[in-house]
Structure formats: C-alpha cells, structure tokens
Structure 1
Amino acid sequence: MTPPFEPAALLRGSRISNGPSGGETHQGRARTATKACPSLGSKFPTQDNLCRSPRTTAPENRRRERRERQLNASPDSPNTMRDPREALQSAAQKLSLAAAAETRFLRDLFGGRRPHPSTEKLAGQNIVIVGGELFNKGAQAMTFTVVDNLRRRYPDQDLYLLSYADYERPDAEKEQYSFEILPWGTEARLGAFTERADFLSDDENATATIREVMNDCACVVDISGYALSSQWGFNVSFMYLVNLAMASSYSVPVYVLPQSIGPFEYPPLEAGVLNPLMNLYLSYPEVIYSRERRGVDALSSYTTHNVEHELDIVLQNEGYDLENVFTDVPEFETIAVENDAMGVVPNSRVMERVDHDRFYAHYDAAIEAALRDGYTVYVLRHSTEDRRICEQISARFADEPRVCLLKQDLNAIELERVIEQFDFMIGSRYHSIVHAYKNGVPAIAIGWADKYGDLLEEFGQSEFFFDAREPIQRERLVRAVSTLAATNAEESEKIDRLRSDIVEGDVFRRTFPPA
C-alpha cells in the first residue's frame, strides 16, 4: 500500500520572489528527501476546504442549493438542473439575452457603434476581468497574474472578477481576495444590457452592481484561456462575443490578453449567426493576443489591425506580490519532493478523446518506465474535475511506494512550487506545462488541442508532444520518458534559455495605458 503522507516544510511570507523557492534555478536546487509521499495541510481555502459563512440571504441560499445540486449530480448527467422552475427561468433568461444581444448588434451594425474610447490614459474607477475563475488552477494562475500586475500599475483602481462559479462561493472565502467577485452567468449578462430584465434575476442587487461598475469602468480585461472556438460549440462563442458587445455598449475599451483562439469551423446555421457578430465585434478590442500563430491566422478573416501573437501571461510572470492578490496574505505550506522525481498531471479532456482502457494503459507504461529508471512518481491534479482520474492512476500502483498521490486541492501557487521540484513531468493540463517551463522543468505533453503542440514548438520540445486526437504510440511514449529521464538537465537548460528571451518584454507595460 502507498505509505501515509507526511507534512512538509512550511513556507510563510507575503511575496513570492523571482523563481520559486527563493529564486533557485532548476539545476542544483536543494530538496528535502522524504521516506513517504508528502502532504499539504493547506490553510488556503479551496473547494475541498470551504469556509462557510453563517450569514446567508435568500438569494445566497438559492445559489448555494443550486451549487450543491450541481456538485452532487453525476458527472455523466447531461443536465444538473432539477427544478422545473429553474429550467423555465434559465430558458427565459437565455432567450432574453439573445434578444438583447441581437438588438445591440442591429443598433451597432446599422446605427454605428458608440465612439471608440480613448486609451491614451486610463479613465474610470473600475477594471473588470472576464474569462477568469478560481476552480481550474490554470485559470486561477491567470487571474492571480493579471490582478497582481494590474494592482502594480493601477493601485487606486477597483478590480472586479466576473465569474458565476466563484460568486457562488461563501462570502468569507470571497472576502480573502483584494478584488470583488460578481456573477457573470446568463442573468448577469442580461442585466448588464438592460435593467428591464431584472425580474428574471435571483439577485437584482448583483445585476444592479454590475451596471454601476460598468458605468464607471476604465477597461475590460479578457483572460479566457480557450473560449472563442468551434471546439467549444455555439453557446461558448456566443457568450464570448456578448462580452465584447456589452463593453461596446458602455464604450469601454477591451484588452484580450494571451489566449488560444480558433478554429472557427462552425456548422452552417451556427456560422450564419456568429460570423456577422465576429465581423463586427472582433475589431473592437484594443488588442487581441493569440497564444498560437494559427490563432492569428484564424482571426485574419475578421480582423488584423488589433491582433498579435504573444505567449501566456503566466509563462511571462516573474513572481507574485501576494499583497496585491489577497486582503490578508495566507500562510502557504509547500511539499518536499524526493530527488529524481517525475510528475503526472492528467486531464479529463484527454480521457474524453481516448478509449478509457487505453488511456490508463498509456499511463501505466509511462510510470513503469520512470520507475525502472529510478524515479519517484507524483500524481496530482491541476483542476478539480481531474480528481477521479488521479485516484484511478495511482490506485493501479497501490503496492508501489514510489508512486505517490497528492490528494489535496492545491492552489495555483502551491502547485507551481510542487512542479518546480520535478526533474520532468507528463502534463495534460496546459498550465501545468506552463508552470513547468516557467521553472525550467521539461515536460511530455499529452494534449487535445493545437495549443499544446504550439507551446512545445516554441521551446524546441516538439518531440515530446503527443496529440490525443490521434492514436498515441505507447512505445514512443515510453521512449520519451526514458529520454527525459536521461537528458532532463540538458533540456532544462534549453528551456531556461528560450524563456529568458520570451520574458524580456513586459506585456502589461506594452499593453495598458498609464493611470
């Protein structure tokens, strides 16, 4: 059986400096050896460790009950909404939002959009962040990164994260952050367009607050990791464009920070609705940064003057000032990883595209190869939804003490501090690979979208990319593990050298106007 977890060293402080662990480089970093798999008793509130607030209002009770139904529903269920009243209300909200968006579109198309805002100097008290959230650790890392950098640049502005899922968190948990969280589901978007639809809302105060925020808004910052694409279907793309239409209706500038975009291979009926919206609103943002060059190509059918290629903001980030992110900086614990360690970060999105038996057999073979080469293997999740997969992978090695499951729901900062200790890793979550490359850790990427291959190509690591949309050759995967087991030091130096060229420019300084 896997031995019990042991507590690791405690790390305290309000600032994370250049490079994890006090700026140590990947080569020659000091590690604390343990005889068993380490553990983390984190004081950071997570989905597994929610701090419940005793003060609840009627809307908050309804939101909590709805969230609990969603969390308790079977992950295979196509519909987690059980209350017929909620289903009817949701349908009315979606129809009303579509009508409001169509009205806005026709007004902008035939009457002309409001004058484009001046961006020579930031004007407005509020900065609104859309596309971010705190459950997925990649999205959380992007949220922390943008909040930190905006706080440094605009210390007097108020920051708002629009996120439906995070708004449903208990008040005590939300209050730990230096930014305010507001809802951004269908009803909130509808409320941003018109107060006449407030009767459809469970929380009229929240939708009224959104309108107040937008009426004194300096800019909207979009940090969607991957949303505008036919791979996610019509609804996700439509909601993305609604964000742009909403900002345009308030004459507020938009900055689309690095994210994956495209392809746009919609079915004819969906394309007939989306293409006019994309033609009109994709030219509105001050800048659209695509993480991949093929995203730049995909956007060229709709706009070119405001499109640039730029790598992920987390990859470029040199460290967090946690006082910019938290109202009261929490204490963080970190995990001490064995010398000669390989990390494994799976992804449920990959499992959707691979036969389940074959999926686990690939990981079996890769882990067995690492064990033969003398490595300890750590299985950990980079998103809440991957918990079950991690448990299944580690359970297949229940009698192997060198395969360790990290059960905790670590936050993005804690995850990075674990990943930076690995000699190399197998990663399927995009930002797990970003965290690895940021710290000079080579990675084998098993990905399900173009963004993985493009990222590895930027770092000269294409031989270690495995596209789950095509059959994965298990023998090649095993060879890749053995190769990195032997050459991870050389690959680490290459990654560090290439990253130093990437981060020379400050994307925030180049992008945002002075306060």
Structure 2
Amino acid sequence: MDIYLNGAGFENKGAEAMAYTAAAELGRRIPGARFHVKAPGGSAALPAGAGFLPVSGRRRATAADLAALCRAVVRRPFLALLLLRQRRRALFFERLGRLDACVDISGFALGDAWGAGSARRCAALFRYLKSCGRRCVFLPQAWGPFTDRGVARGAVRTIACADLAFARDRRSFEYLTSIPGIARRKIRRACDIAFLFRDAGAEAGARILAGRGIAGPIVGIVPNMRVYERSEGTEQANVYIRLLADVARFVRTRLTAVPLLLPHEVRPGDGAARDDRFLCRLVQECAGGPDAAPALTDAATAAELKAIIGRCDMLVASRYHSIIAALSHRVVPVALGWSHKYAELLQDAGIAHLAFDIGRAAAADVLACVREAYERRTELGRTIDANVRGMERSAEDALDATSRVLTERE
C-alpha cells in the first residue's frame, strides 16, 4: 500500500517526529506499506536513509505525466480549473491520486489563524483524493476555532471527504463538531501520536550534552518563531524575547541550574534564516551571552532532541511537540503558548496550571510558576506519569483505527 503523509516535514522537529512515528507505527500495522511525502526538491530534500519516497509537482513533467493529467481532467472536470491556474499543483494532485491513501499529520492546519485560503486549498486536495476513491484519515491534531465563515466552510468540505478525523484535545473536538453541517460521525478524540515517537536513547542525549560541556541541573528553554511573530516589538525589544531572557536569568541565578536553549525549527543553511536559532541568539544577547544561556544550535534530529529533553530537569517551552517529548519522559514542562492546544495538552496531563497564554502572561507569574514547577518536579512527575500512560494508549488506539480504515475493503 502506498500512503501519502500530508503535512510531513523535516525542518520543524515536531513535524519530523510525526512523520517518523506515522511511518513506523502504520508500517508495523500494514506490512509492506510505503510512505510518500511532499518534497519539491526530490529525494535530495529528504533525510538520508529516512525511507520516505518523494512526491512533487515541480519535477519535470514527462509525456506520461501529461497524458495521465489529461485523463484525470476528463474524469474530474474541476481539476481543469486548477490546471489553468496552477499547472504544478494540478500535476501534484494527479500524482497523489495514483497512491492508495492519504494520512494527514499536519498537526494544526485548519482554524481561524490560518485563514480561509488555507482552508479552501485543504478542501480542494481532499476533494480530489476522494474523487479518486482514496481513503483519507486525519491523525490527531488541533482544530479551530472556526468563527470565520470561510474557514468553517472549508472544514466542513474537508471532513466530508475524510473517512476519519481525530481531534487531539477537548476544545478542538468541540470547535470541530459544533460547525453546522459537519459530518460529526467521522470525528473522534485521541491523543497525539508523537507520544509514541522513539528517541535516540538516554546515552545519546547524555553524550551530546557532555560534548558541549553542559552538566548539572538543566532547564531546557524551547522558543517558537510563531509566538515571536505574534508578540509586540522586534528583536531584543520583543516582549516574548524579554520574557525568555528573564526565564534564563532566573534559572541561572535563582535555581542555580543551566538554562539550555533548544531550537525546534531549523532551516537549511548557515543559520542566517529566521528560524528558532535566530530567537536563541536574541535571548542570549538579552540574558548575558552564550555562556549565560548556552544553545544547542547544531543540526540535530528530532530523535536526538527528544533524548536531550529527557536529560533535562524541567522544560519551559513554546513548541507543542517539545512539550510532548517532555511529558513522554515525565519531565515537567511550563508552556508559553499562542493557541488553545498548549493549555489543553497540559490539562490532559493533569498540570493545567503550568500553561500560559503568551498574550496574557505576566513575567512575575511565569517566573513564580517556573520556581514552583522546578521545586515540585518529583511530585509533578508522578502526576504526569499517572495521566500520560492513558494518553499513550489513546494514540495507539487512533493508529489501530486508522490502519483498519485504510485496509478495509469496500
């Protein structure tokens, strides 16, 4: 079976963890399955040895490609409009239509934050795949809110073309199922499959830290460009950067621990791109320099980063999947988020009071919470353990249900 993983990526370590987990877990349940991911640059754009197959609309179209596209247009006239406007996208759709199924692992693709245009594009893709008779499943992810009518309309059309869709938290489930006209029978709740992601091992995490000379109690700090972009001010004057710098100084001076900056979005190149490494440099400049707030800015895999987080004594994070990595290791996280998904995740883990909305977070409150979480980390770790076991089982159940949907006969 050939399965397209929609939303897979390797610059964002959360997306990378999702891709590897989906391939490993579904591959275990569906022997012989092959997994395809969007790769405009072809195989060269994918991690070496990852085992994923590239799909692209940018590859030069052969005569066979064009013939297949013409046949697809005849069978599905709405593709003709797309062909007139965006030839590469039409070719991409046609190539996806040759595969057997689509599993969406976007994490958070539909909601007011992404706009009606994104919702229309999502609906168009799944409408085409449905017209080809392909099975489509949305693995657990965040949804909503849907106050924008165009976004809500796109969600209704998208879910109508899906065989199954999972919401990974209570509020996402409520946002999605409350849209008038939505196919509620297709929507279920389940926790994120990244709870099942296997890291590189405790030894690998310890080796990487030792290689950088980082020892003693460690509080990981994970920034997020999306939060920076939503916060007032630029560069060192940005309120989010100043808050992270306050946290770094507090960790070093009051908790006598090492504030370790861990970027989760790393784009190709020398680090000049505005990714999470850019934020790490800004925080260092505000917090006293690289010695005061070291950063692991070298390219690392998602598996290595999860192993490093497992060696931390605590985490202060704005990346959703870094928080899942911490919970998986029973490391206590404090979340500084921009959407409902952060608070909902910590609610499910039994530590809702450790989640902050960055738009309303006062520095004094965050620092007090960091102190409490650090001092009570053993007790809070037991609370996390009691809840995360069920969250891991929920993720397993979602994958079981997905494999049944993908393999059942009409």
TM-score range, shorter chain: 0.7 to 0.9
The CA deviation at 1:147 is 0.8
The CA deviation at 1:511 is 2.7
**What is the aligned-residue RMSD (CA, Å)?**
3.1
Aligned 8 A contact 2:338 2:357 in 1: yes
Partners in 1 of 2:338 and 2:88 — Cα distance?
Answer: 38
| Residues 1:202 and 1:304: Cα distance change in structure 2 (over 3 Å) | closer
2:186 equivalent in structure 1: 306
After superposition, what is the alpha-carbon deviation per residue over 1:351-396, rounded to whole angstroms, capped at 9, x for unaligned? 2222232223212322222112110110120112211111111233
The CA deviation at 1:255 is 0.9
After superposition, what is the alpha-carbon deviation per residue over 1:428-484, rounded to whole angstroms, capped at 9, x for unaligned? 0111111111111111110000000100111121211110132x2111111112112
1:444 equivalent in structure 2: 334
Partners in 2 of 1:364 and 1:175 — Cα distance?
Answer: 36
The CA deviation at 1:303 is 2.0
Instruction: Determine which of 145, 161, 166 is the counterpart of 1:284.
Output: 161
2:24 equivalent in structure 1: 148
Q: How many residue pairs end up in the alignment?
A: 367
Aligned 8 A contact 1:425 1:444 in 2: yes
Instruction: Determine which of 240, 243, 253 is the counterpart of 1:362.
Output: 243
Aligned 8 A contact 2:200 2:306 in 1: no
The CA deviation at 1:405 is 1.4
Instruction: Determine which of 170, 179, 191 is the counterpart of 2:52.
Output: 179
| Residues 1:402 and 1:232: Cα distance change in structure 2 (over 3 Å) | same
SS of residue in 2 equivalent to 1:308: strand
| Residues 1:403 and 1:433: Cα distance change in structure 2 (over 3 Å) | same
Residues 160-175 of structure 1: matches in 2 within 5 Å? 160-161=36-37, 163=38, 166-168=39-41, 171=44, 173=46
Aligned 8 A contact 2:218 2:313 in 1: yes
1:455 equivalent in structure 2: 345
| Residues 1:173 and 1:133: Cα distance change in structure 2 (over 3 Å) | closer
| Residue 489 (structure 1) aligned with residue 362 (structure 2) | no
SS of residue in 1 equivalent to 2:145: coil
| Residues 1:143 and 1:400: Cα distance change in structure 2 (over 3 Å) | closer
Partners in 2 of 1:447 and 1:184 — Cα distance?
Answer: 34
After superposition, what is the alpha-carbon deviation per residue over 1:315-353, rounded to whole angstroms, capped at 9, x for unaligned? 2x063799xxxxxxxxx9743452311011111111222
Identical counterparts, % of pairs: 23
Partners in 2 of 1:367 and 1:417 — Cα distance?
Answer: 21
Aligned 8 A contact 2:123 2:158 in 1: yes
The CA deviation at 1:200 is 7.5
After superposition, what is the alpha-carbon deviation per residue over 1:182-204, rounded to whole angstroms, capped at 9, x for unaligned? 1268x99x969638676977879
Stretch deviating more after TM superposition (367-376 or 170-179): 170-179
| Residues 1:307 and 1:202: Cα distance change in structure 2 (over 3 Å) | closer
Partners in 2 of 1:203 and 1:282 — Cα distance?
Answer: 25
| Residues 1:347 and 1:212: Cα distance change in structure 2 (over 3 Å) | closer
The CA deviation at 1:280 is 4.1
| Residue 249 (structure 1) aligned with residue 249 (structure 2) | no
Instruction: Tell me: higher relative CO, structure 1 or 2? Use CA pairs within 8 A at least 6 residues apart.
Output: 1
The CA deviation at 1:145 is 0.5
1:221 equivalent in structure 2: 103
Stretch deviating more after TM superposition (381-390 or 500-509): 500-509
1:207 equivalent in structure 2: 91
Partners in 1 of 2:157 and 2:283 — Cα distance?
Answer: 47
| Residues 1:444 and 1:412: Cα distance change in structure 2 (over 3 Å) | same
Aligned 8 A contact 2:14 2:302 in 1: yes
Q: Which has the higher helix share?
A: 2
Where structure 2 has 5 or more consecutive residues not aligned to the other structure, the ranges are 74-78, 267-274
| Residue 294 (structure 1) aligned with residue 171 (structure 2) | yes
Where structure 1 has 5 or more consecutive residues not aligned to the other structure, the ranges are 1-124, 323-331
SS of residue in 1 equivalent to 2:250: helix
The TM-score normalised by the length of structure 2 is: 0.81
Partners in 1 of 2:57 and 2:342 — Cα distance?
Answer: 28
Partners in 2 of 1:127 and 1:159 — Cα distance?
Answer: 5
Aligned 8 A contact 2:110 2:155 in 1: no
| Residues 1:508 and 1:321: Cα distance change in structure 2 (over 3 Å) | farther
| Residues 1:389 and 1:278: Cα distance change in structure 2 (over 3 Å) | closer
Aligned 8 A contact 1:229 1:264 in 2: yes
Residues 388-467 of structure 1: matches in 2 within 5 Å? 388-398=278-288, 401-467=291-357
Partners in 1 of 2:113 and 2:371 — Cα distance?
Answer: 33
| Residues 1:203 and 1:236: Cα distance change in structure 2 (over 3 Å) | closer
1:500 equivalent in structure 2: 389
Aligned 8 A contact 2:138 2:162 in 1: yes
1:61 equivalent in structure 2: none
| Residue 335 (structure 1) aligned with residue 238 (structure 2) | no
1:512 equivalent in structure 2: 403
SS of residue in 2 equivalent to 1:374: coil
SS of residue in 2 equivalent to 1:406: coil
